[in-house]
Structure 1
Amino acid sequence: MANGLVAGSGRIVAAYFDAGTSRRVPWTQRPRAARLMAEIARSNKTIDAIVVGEYERAFTGSQFATLYAWCLRHGVQLWLPETGGPVDLGNRDHRALMSLLAAQSQREVLRARHRVLAAMRNQAIQQGRYLGGRPPYGYRLVDAGPHPNPADARWGRRLQRLAPDPRTAPHVAWMFQQRLAGHSVASIARHLNERDIPCPSNVDPDRNRHRTRSAWTLRTVAVILANPRYTGRQVWNRRATDTSGPTSTPALSAKVAHSALVTEQDFITAQQIRATRTASDGQPRQFALAGLIHCGVCDRRLDSHWNHGRPTYRCRHGHTSTQRAGQLRPKTLYVREDHLVDAISIQLGDPGNDGHTRPELDRPRHRRVAAALRDSGKIIVYDGAGWRLEEIDSS
Structure 2
Amino acid sequence: MNRSERAVITRRPRHPSSVIPPHPPSPQVAAPLAGTADLLAQWMNGKKPATTTSTRPDHGSGLRFAFYGRTSTVRHQDRVSSQGWQRDMADELVAGHGQVVAAYFDAGTSRRIPWRQRPQAAQLMAAVSGPGSVIDAIVVGEYERAFTGTQFTTLYTWCTRHGIQLWLPETEGPVDLANRDHRALLSLLATQSQREVLRARHRVLAAMHNQATQQGRYLGGRPPYGYQLVDAGPHPNPADARWGRRLQRLAPDPRTAPHVAWMFRQRLAGHSVASIARHLNERGIPCPSSADPDRNRHRTRGAWTLRTVAVILANPRYTGRQTWNRRATGSEASASTPALSAKAAHPALVTEQDFIAAQQIRAARTASDGRARRFALAGLIHCGVCDRRLDSHWNHGRPTYRCRHGHTSTQRAGQERPKTLYIREDHLIDQIDIRLEEQVSAAKLEPDRTRSTRVATALRDSRLFIIYDSAGWRLEEIDSS
Q: What does 1:133-212 align with in structure 2 at a 5 Å threshold? A: 133-212=221-300
Mapped to 2, the partners of 1:158 and 1:100 lie a distance apart of: 41
Look up the SS of the partner of 1:253 in the other structure. strand
C-alpha spacing 1:261/1:83, structure 2 compared with 1 (3 Å): same
Q: How many residues align?
A: 307
Partner amino acid, structure 2, of 1:25: I
Partner amino acid, structure 1, of 2:380: T
C-alpha spacing 1:321/1:141, structure 2 compared with 1 (3 Å): same
CA shift, 1:136, in A, is 0.9
Q: What does 1:300-379 align with in structure 2 at a 5 Å threshold? A: 306=367, 309=369, 311-312=371-372, 314=374, 316=376, 320-322=380-382, 325=432, 333=449
Moved more, 104-113 or 35-44: 35-44
Q: Does 1:110 align with 2:198?
A: yes
Could you tell me whether the CA contact under 8 Å between 1:52 and 1:58 is conserved in 2? yes
CA shift, 1:39, in A, is 5.3
C-alpha spacing 1:103/1:247, structure 2 compared with 1 (3 Å): closer
Look up the SS of the partner of 2:247 in the other structure. strand
C-alpha spacing 1:333/1:103, structure 2 compared with 1 (3 Å): farther
- Which string of whole-angstrom CA distances, capped at 9 and with x for unpartnered residues, describes residues 220-276 of structure 1? 111000001111111111211127765343211112111111111111111112357
**Correspondence for 1:352:** none
Q: What does 1:256-335 align with in structure 2 at a 5 Å threshold? A: 256-274=344-362, 287=366, 306=367, 309=369, 311-312=371-372, 314=374, 316=376, 320-322=380-382, 325=432, 333=449
Look up the SS of the partner of 2:371 in the other structure. strand
Mapped to 2, the partners of 1:45 and 1:274 lie a distance apart of: 67
Q: Does 1:88 align with 2:176?
A: yes
What is the TM-score when the length of structure 1 is the normalising length? 0.67
**Correspondence for 1:250:** 338
Mapped to 2, the partners of 1:270 and 1:243 lie a distance apart of: 31
Mapped to 2, the partners of 1:64 and 1:150 lie a distance apart of: 40
**Correspondence for 1:236:** 324
Mapped to 2, the partners of 1:231 and 1:177 lie a distance apart of: 14
**CA RMSD, Structure 1 to Structure 2 (Å):** 3.2
Q: Of 57, 64, 71, which aligns to 2:159? A: 71
CA shift, 1:310, in A, is 5.1
Look up the SS of the partner of 1:189 in the other structure. helix
CA shift, 1:195, in A, is 0.8
Partner amino acid, structure 1, of 2:146: A
CA shift, 1:200, in A, is 0.9
Q: Does 1:227 align with 2:315?
A: yes
CA shift, 1:46, in A, is 5.1
- Which string of whole-angstrom CA distances, capped at 9 and with x for unpartnered residues, describes residues 17-76 of structure 1? 545432112233334444544555569555432222332222112211232233335443
Mapped to 2, the partners of 1:210 and 1:6 lie a distance apart of: 47
Could you tell me whether the CA contact under 8 Å between 2:209 and 2:336 is conserved in 1? no
Larger radius of gyration: 2
Identity of aligned residues (%): 76
Look up the SS of the partner of 2:228 in the other structure. strand
- Which string of whole-angstrom CA distances, capped at 9 and with x for unpartnered residues, describes residues 109-155 of structure 1? 22221221111111111121111111111111222233222333344
Partner amino acid, structure 2, of 1:152: D
Partner amino acid, structure 2, of 1:65: T
Displaced runs of 4 or more, over 6 A: none
Could you tell me whether the CA contact under 8 Å between 1:173 and 1:261 is conserved in 2? yes
Moved more, 66-75 or 130-139: 66-75
Partner amino acid, structure 2, of 1:89: L
Mapped to 2, the partners of 1:319 and 1:239 lie a distance apart of: 26
Structure 1 unaligned regions, length at least 5 = 278-286, 288-305, 336-395
Q: Of 107, 112, 121, which aligns to 1:24? A: 112
Mapped to 2, the partners of 1:76 and 1:155 lie a distance apart of: 46
Partner amino acid, structure 2, of 1:316: A
Could you tell me whether the CA contact under 8 Å between 2:264 and 2:313 is conserved in 1? yes
